[in-house]
Amino acid sequence: MSSCRSSRFYISLEDPLIQRHGIDSLIPERYRPLRTEPLDRPAVQRDIDRAQRIVEGQSFEIRRTLSRYSQFIEGQRRQLFERRELVLSGQNQFL
């Protein structure tokens, strides 16, 4: 017999990650609980989920751009070392 299991994550609106991405500003004042009460409203959860998808998309784009730059720099490094080897071996036709 199997049972449904689920996880629940708790985050603070004061968490630096939440504040850095402005997620706390998406929550209307009327939905903001007291400091000790959980914020358990579907509308707020949708806003947080949407913001999380946006942040994840931005992070993906940053990683993709960084990978492209890394590949470009690696190609430049290889060309430089190939030319260096030609110069050191005396086979350089450009001299």
Determine contact, residues 55/30, Cβ cutoff 8 Å: no
Residue with tokens 């706390």: 24
Q: Name 31's Cβ contacts closer than 8 Å, sequence gap at least 6.
A: 39, 41, 43, 44
Closest-CA residue to 12 (of 48, 53, 56, 58): 48
Residue 95 has pLDDT above 60, yes or no: no
Is the model's pLDDT at 93 over the cut of 80?
Answer: no
CA-to-CA dists, residue 82 to 33, 38, 79, angstroms = 64, 61, 5
Q: What is the pLDDT of residues 8-62, one digit of tens each?
A: 777 777 888 778 777 777 777 776 666 666 777 787 778 778 888 888 999 999 9
